[in-house]
Structure 1
């Protein structure tokens, strides 16, 4: 997960064909498109673990979310280090008027456990003094009438004869819902436990702890847990939320997170041993997302949850370094990436090896015995281990990662170690991460990134060219980020298209997981997310249904799938294009701008004067000394020239020089009547790289791969952009920098398809994704597959592209299932903006 200092974008590629349409009228005016999907018979084995989930404690996903504890700050460990507005009594408040003969403090002498240093102290001097503290829970305590709730606390009598302690559940009006009393308090820490049974529902209850006799009482670990947890596990998961996750049928679960794993500084790394054993002995810590982790949801619970939902565990441990974006939260002093001191690394490497023993070792082993003590003598069958998360690929990282990797492979060659290629799908860390993976012959790397829906569609060939001789790929985090970060159908369809590519490349891309998984209403720090919830309700996003359909309709063999399209539009007609010259917080000169179409030079400007053909959009432009100058700091400063073009394309040539400023040049091209255009961003992103960007519907996305590079000041560069019917090529000083497949003057309609076979059932499953705004009549040719059943289950997600399933509102898009007859050659109408699954049952 990207931390709170950086955001990146990402997308991947699939087999696709852009359907050409008339640009002037747009997609809505050409409903005549037809398509053919041809499925071949040569099956290729693909990963059976392809679709999983990524859990990170962000957006209150754990405490206050999946972890079923209902008391917030149960051990009084909250602090300003978690959140500047917090202290040890956050979420607690005193009930009734204060008295000079009573006091409430938080102390740390003789704690319950060294990992749990703070506790509550209630002091009362006179008979009849009553002390009551109320806990508000996580935005209230939800109760179900008739259900049983386990209540517990640790207490000790520090002086006098205090007690008893009363714990009750009440409404916000003060009306009692259930109550229990613990008496005969001991002088040493003792656990007191019982049950509370409210008779009626209340979604916003409170828990109150009271005492009414003279003396001093220490209290810690005040807990309220529903008995009705997922699989009835003690210290378990919120049942309804866990069931929605289980319904995804994930093949694996990555935990405990992304940035949470490597932490906000060395001292904040997620250390697995701190999260096992009795909950009162676990070491809580601040969350990198600026709240608190009790570690009640720890490694044992993660492993148990994986087993309960039939998913393989995929823990991620730090690679011996913290997040490169670590910073001191309280005084805002940056820290950056730091490594565990090398003299301590052997101890840390052993910690990683101990984790594998904890998961897989026999009960006779040291850590296998600890697993058995927790109630699970059988191993958890760990196959995958992630090491590192989006780390900057520095010498410090490489040295520590190599130590961990070598030790794990020497002792546990059966475990697949998964490395990292940084936080994005291109750039320095990505390139260095892959070089490092090649050098140490790493089995698998974890790629991350987030992009716009267009990026996913524009980069649909990404994995086809990955060498099968290099590390296999785990797509540990991805999501389509639409406008305003909404979970639109548009974003879900682009992810579905991407997943068809993952299926096709499932022999090399072995694992994938959307991120983030969970988001609590009112506590959302990152959007979009897969599942939204509050204390009583859950809203799966449209993206959730895409993930679920790919998971439950997965396969272990991929069948070659070809998409072709025919339609009747006048695609060769004239079109008004434009070129744009620009800068971003820089000043520059441009000269000798020339457009060639075929063998004809249709535009040539050496800037003897500023022609009225140029339209000034922004910035300060003038002609001086035979060149076009831009002298402002605007972001961007743009001048534009329009011209007629046809589908055959054109070549744009020019010279450019940066005079001063932070970045380089912007050269725009390939504009359409729908206000879409491309530009080549040279020396962008702080003058660190070059990239082609597409601008559409108010957003932008990178097309193809980026290239490292910078633009020097006070030297002329020769720039050439070739826009052809089906590709774009960009040259800088005669060197080819980008070569991108792109349908010039094509429409926005795209189709993607993938066909798999499930060996266990014999079923053949065809998935089709369309972003057309009209239905597409499609011929599905399955004749090469031989004998098939004559019935198919058809599942469709469709609606308006901007549709969202918003929390608290009726769902706009849900799967619709039907049964249809099927034949070797079948005519099917693919709905507008849709994802269709056809599961053809074996005969």
Structure 2
């Protein structure tokens, strides 16, 4: 399953001599014998939020939008082109949404009356279309109740914009009661914007619900599972943790539309569809058709964490709606149900099959516990109201699960009155881990590579839970993931790694975005209905995570850490398991630089690997059409004794790996 995006290259010596002939000289000392601190396995992880169509329309491979007619406008995503006053077949049929009280979580279905079966059909547009690939198989399922057995056939076709059929199948509805049906369509062509057309033979009435279409090929070949190409990108990161289900989506614009994990588990057809809080948040990119089916729910998040080898890190509402929106509060004396949700979630993840929630997990197909170790209380709330509620959660969780590590929040910014107050109070409470967020310009990231050098070593550990460099004056989706932003993040991350005794978890945010349906940028991974790719920022994260090591070592210039002197940043580590020395060096200068590295001991092999991520144009970025403009390159490297000479290109992030004797 592992994929290798690092291209091995051989660089021409003459070219190198020409490039580096005027490079600046720097000498660094590396103490290979003394460990400064350990690096946590959770150091580099993934932050997932359902923004930018990241779940429905993205990671969750369902291709039918509004499959159960539960959107606020029940027929959104569907059309009946020949059932209107402008059609010659206006009376051929009509589809009508119907609400029933039989299932409070899934009350709506579609009732279709066919008067003339010569042309009536309905069409689902998918999530900005449906991506299909030639010869690939797509599994179709639906629920139907065929009144009086009047409808003889349901013809289901994938069509392109010109209505050309790209694959079809037929279902014969055989019951007047609700019954599940399934079939398969094999695509005859590749199309990014296909749609699903449903036509009927016979005249009369039929009810339809849960009309669903998934690619047969999903991650781990799970039926109705996740998009394989996107999960592969996550797997390749080798993440230490997966934080879910997001940030502000946890809080909700109001408490009513907060994320409630219990509504996202159990049978998929019984999960209550809800409008996505990001649908109208940004005036310039409103998406009224953005809903959550919760087909990707908490069970699937835990399962995904297990699949990619990451610790699960769920974040739960603390009874405070987003303070940028309503700021609605649950009174302290009414907080018990929220606290119970947290305790029940831990039982769902870790409880025995004999417990209520452990039994549900087992019934969903995972008898063994998920071994949950972390839980987050609130997202980025601030002020006395948050601290007051955090105390209640912490007391209840620690009382029942004393070893559970609780992640608390310090507000939406890395400084200011809200941040200072939150950190001060959480220190008093001996909080386990504090989540810090920073969305700043690239200059801030370079200037703050020393942010954690002077943090209180006796205070809470740090989770750099959401961060991304936002280039100044760039507001154009993909362009915001330019090389300048990624390079500045790599400089900042050397400071995170150097302070691994304080910083235990870090994650870029947001994780992903659909190129045709995004609300927020930059994002680490971009995708359309057929393809996905990693940005330059993705490769920075991947290189740090894949080469983090286990122990931090000292790397200094004139006795001081390299934190931006001569626009150079560096960190050193060893991996005691793989027996490797790993040096990470970032040159944010527009000029190449020569770096001489002196090792304290002659305890490494001469031959090693040099990995370089660079581009001479800071405004360059990867795209769907050109996903490999900025990717790492790898070549063999040979050093002499305890001395290594590296030529760092302008605007580059370089990793030197040497086997230790």
1:838, distance to aligned residue in structure 2 (A): 0.4
Residue of structure 2 aligned with 1:376, choices 323, 342, 366: 366
State the secondary structure of the residue aligned to 1:560.
strand
Tell whether the 8 Å contact from 2:582 to 2:655 is kept in structure 1 after alignment. yes
TM-score by length of 1: 0.71
Residue of structure 2 aligned with 1:135, choices 116, 124, 127: 124
Q: What is aligned with 1:586?
A: none
Give the alignment of 1:135-174 within 5 angstroms. Answer: 135-158=124-147, 161-174=150-163
Q: What is aligned with 1:224?
A: 213
User: Distance in 2 between the 1:428 and 1:116 partners?
Assistant: 45
Residue of structure 1 aligned with 2:604, choices 788, 794, 799: 788
Q: What is aligned with 1:629?
A: none
User: Distance in 1 between the 2:380 and 2:101 partners?
Assistant: 40
User: Distance in 1 between the 2:297 and 2:607 partners?
Assistant: 46
1:537, distance to aligned residue in structure 2 (A): 2.0
1:130, distance to aligned residue in structure 2 (A): 4.9
Residues 439, 565 of structure 1: alpha-carbon distance in 2 compared, 3 angstrom cutoff: closer
Tell whether the 8 Å contact from 1:162 to 1:185 is kept in structure 2 after alignment. no
User: Distance in 1 between the 2:530 and 2:92 partners?
Assistant: 40
Residue of structure 2 aligned with 1:94, choices 75, 80, 86: 80
1:810, distance to aligned residue in structure 2 (A): 5.6
Tell whether the 8 Å contact from 1:61 to 1:519 is kept in structure 2 after alignment. yes
Q: Give aligned pairs, total.
A: 618
Residue of structure 2 aligned with 1:833, choices 642, 645, 651: 651
The one-character-per-residue Cα deviations of 1:37-62 (angstroms, maximum 9, x if unpaired) are 11123202221210001011111111
1:101, distance to aligned residue in structure 2 (A): 5.9
User: Distance in 2 between the 1:466 and 1:390 partners?
Assistant: 20
Tell whether the 8 Å contact from 1:129 to 1:213 is kept in structure 2 after alignment. no
State the secondary structure of the residue aligned to 1:404.
helix
The one-character-per-residue Cα deviations of 1:144-188 (angstroms, maximum 9, x if unpaired) are 222221101112235673343222223333333333333344333
User: Distance in 2 between the 1:73 and 1:54 partners?
Assistant: 26
User: Distance in 2 between the 1:752 and 1:476 partners?
Assistant: 22
Residue of structure 2 aligned with 1:67, choices 60, 67, 87: 60
The one-character-per-residue Cα deviations of 1:190-243 (angstroms, maximum 9, x if unpaired) are 221122222332332221122232322221111000110011112311111111
User: Distance in 2 between the 1:770 and 1:29 partners?
Assistant: 13
The one-character-per-residue Cα deviations of 1:643-694 (angstroms, maximum 9, x if unpaired) are xxxxxxxxxxxxxxxxxxxxxxxxxxxxxxxxxxxxxxxxxxxxxxxxxxxx
1:469, distance to aligned residue in structure 2 (A): 1.2
Tell whether the 8 Å contact from 1:131 to 1:212 is kept in structure 2 after alignment. no
Residue of structure 1 aligned with 2:259, choices 270, 273, 276: 270
User: Distance in 2 between the 1:144 and 1:534 partners?
Assistant: 13
Decide which structure has the larger Cα Rg and report it: 1
User: Distance in 1 between the 2:579 and 2:396 partners?
Assistant: 41
1:804, distance to aligned residue in structure 2 (A): 1.7
Most deviating of 451-460 and 798-807: 798-807
Residue of structure 1 aligned with 2:272, choices 241, 266, 283: 283
User: Distance in 2 between the 1:159 and 1:389 partners?
Assistant: 53
More helix, by proportion: 2
The one-character-per-residue Cα deviations of 1:522-548 (angstroms, maximum 9, x if unpaired) are 212111111111111223111111100
Asked if residue 771 in structure 1 is aligned to residue 588 in structure 2, the reply is yes
Most deviating of 40-49 and 158-167: 158-167
The one-character-per-residue Cα deviations of 1:395-439 (angstroms, maximum 9, x if unpaired) are 2x2332222111111111121000000000011221121122123
Tell whether the 8 Å contact from 1:804 to 1:811 is kept in structure 2 after alignment. no
Residues 216, 561 of structure 1: alpha-carbon distance in 2 compared, 3 angstrom cutoff: same
Residues 807, 181 of structure 1: alpha-carbon distance in 2 compared, 3 angstrom cutoff: closer
1:29, distance to aligned residue in structure 2 (A): 14
Tell whether the 8 Å contact from 1:520 to 1:533 is kept in structure 2 after alignment. yes
Residues 832, 565 of structure 1: alpha-carbon distance in 2 compared, 3 angstrom cutoff: farther
Asked if residue 308 in structure 1 is aligned to residue 343 in structure 2, the reply is no
The one-character-per-residue Cα deviations of 1:306-352 (angstroms, maximum 9, x if unpaired) are 111111111111111111122xxxxxxxxx21123445422221111
Q: What is aligned with 1:42?
A: 34
Tell whether the 8 Å contact from 1:130 to 1:212 is kept in structure 2 after alignment. no
Asked if residue 355 in structure 1 is aligned to residue 345 in structure 2, the reply is yes
Where does the alignment leave 5 or more consecutive residues of structure 2 unmatched? 1-18, 280-289
Residues 171, 246 of structure 1: alpha-carbon distance in 2 compared, 3 angstrom cutoff: same
State the secondary structure of the residue aligned to 2:269.
helix
1:72, distance to aligned residue in structure 2 (A): 1.1
Tell whether the 8 Å contact from 1:35 to 1:777 is kept in structure 2 after alignment. yes
Residues 810, 144 of structure 1: alpha-carbon distance in 2 compared, 3 angstrom cutoff: closer
Asked if residue 755 in structure 1 is aligned to residue 559 in structure 2, the reply is no
Residue of structure 2 aligned with 1:525, choices 519, 529, 534: 519
Residues 90, 184 of structure 1: alpha-carbon distance in 2 compared, 3 angstrom cutoff: closer
User: Distance in 2 between the 1:381 and 1:147 partners?
Assistant: 36
Residues 488, 203 of structure 1: alpha-carbon distance in 2 compared, 3 angstrom cutoff: closer
More strand, by proportion: 1
Residues 792, 742 of structure 1: alpha-carbon distance in 2 compared, 3 angstrom cutoff: closer
User: Distance in 2 between the 1:430 and 1:455 partners?
Assistant: 17
1:287, distance to aligned residue in structure 2 (A): 1.0
Asked if residue 453 in structure 1 is aligned to residue 442 in structure 2, the reply is yes
State the secondary structure of the residue aligned to 2:151.
coil
Residue of structure 2 aligned with 1:561, choices 551, 555, 561: 555
State the secondary structure of the residue aligned to 1:51.
coil
Tell whether the 8 Å contact from 2:534 to 2:627 is kept in structure 1 after alignment. no
User: Distance in 1 between the 2:563 and 2:499 partners?
Assistant: 21
1:129, distance to aligned residue in structure 2 (A): 6.0
Tell whether the 8 Å contact from 2:351 to 2:358 is kept in structure 1 after alignment. yes
The one-character-per-residue Cα deviations of 1:22-80 (angstroms, maximum 9, x if unpaired) are xxxxxx9994521111112320222121000101111111111111001111111222x
State the secondary structure of the residue aligned to 2:636.
strand
User: Distance in 1 between the 2:397 and 2:143 partners?
Assistant: 40
The one-character-per-residue Cα deviations of 1:279-313 (angstroms, maximum 9, x if unpaired) are 11001111111021111111111111111111111
State the secondary structure of the residue aligned to 2:91.
coil
TM-score by length of 2: 0.90
